[in-house]
């Protein structure tokens, strides 16, 4: 079972708590406490112009759920089985694309969004923030920068914002 976030990537409970899948309860507890401090509404920086958003509250609730599941040996075992089953599923994709096939949109905050049109009229998308988390940097003009000589090709399944279609985004280091 993967946890869907507001963007196109999906995180496991292990990733949410920043622990390995074979982590012991002490490591899970430590990861939970760190994630809790980063998401708890009372622990967020106090800035008068900022209020606790629904996204922040949702992140906090997901951290809580991850702890609930992973801290109990029975629910963790069941979760591990569901996670393994989800990884065995074969994703049927409508198309394979590369970043160069996608349209670049700039946002006001200086971030970039790569969009690819779906036949339903909506888009498949991925942001420069999501790409950065995978080791792919996007320059000011939208050029992709991969500085790691050991970079391995990445294959990401992107979901359409409206329908059930999926595309596979392939990212390779340019030689």
pLDDT in tens, 61-99: 899 999 999 999 999 999 999 888 887 766 678 889 998
Share of the chain above pLDDT 90, in %: 37
Cβ within 8 Å of residue 132, ≥6 positions away? 138
- Give residue 7's pLDDT: 42
d(CA 61, CA 57): 6
Quickly list H helices, the chain: 13-16, 25-39, 54-70, 73-88, 128-133
Q: What is the pLDDT of residues 16-61, one digit of tens each?
A: 999 999 999 999 999 999 998 888 776 655 544 545 455 677 888 8
- Give residue 6's pLDDT: 40
What is the overall mean pLDDT for the chain?
Answer: 81
Burial of 173 (0-12, 13-18, 19+ CB in 10 A): middle
- Cβ-contact 165, 118 below 8 angstroms: yes
Ordered structural domains, the chain, with CATH: 3-88 (1.10.287.110), 95-171 (3.10.660.10)
Terminal-residue alpha carbon distance, the chain: 37
69 three-class SS = helix
């Amino acid at each position: 079972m993967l946890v869907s976030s507001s963007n196109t990537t999906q995180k496991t409970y292990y990733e949410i708590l920043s622990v390995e899948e074979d982590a012991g309860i002490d490591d899970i507890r430590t990861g939970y406490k760190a994630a809790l401090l980063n998401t708890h509404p009372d622990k967020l920086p106090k800035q008068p112009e900022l209020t606790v958003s629904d996204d922040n509250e949702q992140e906090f609730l997901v951290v809580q759920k991850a702890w609930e599941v992973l801290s109990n040996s029975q629910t963790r075992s069941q979760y591990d089985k569901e996670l393994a089953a989800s990884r065995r599923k074969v994703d049927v994709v409508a198309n394979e694309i590369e970043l160069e096939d996608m349209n670049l949109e700039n946002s006001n905050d200086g971030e970039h969004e790569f969009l690819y049109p779906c036949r339903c009229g909506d888009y498949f998308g991925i942001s420069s923030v999501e790409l950065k988390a995978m080791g792919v940097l996007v320059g000011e003009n939208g050029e992709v920068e991969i500085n790691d000589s050991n970079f391995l090709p990445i294959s990401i399944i992107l979901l359409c914002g409206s329908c059930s279609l999926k595309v596979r985004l392939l990212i390779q280091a340019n030689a």
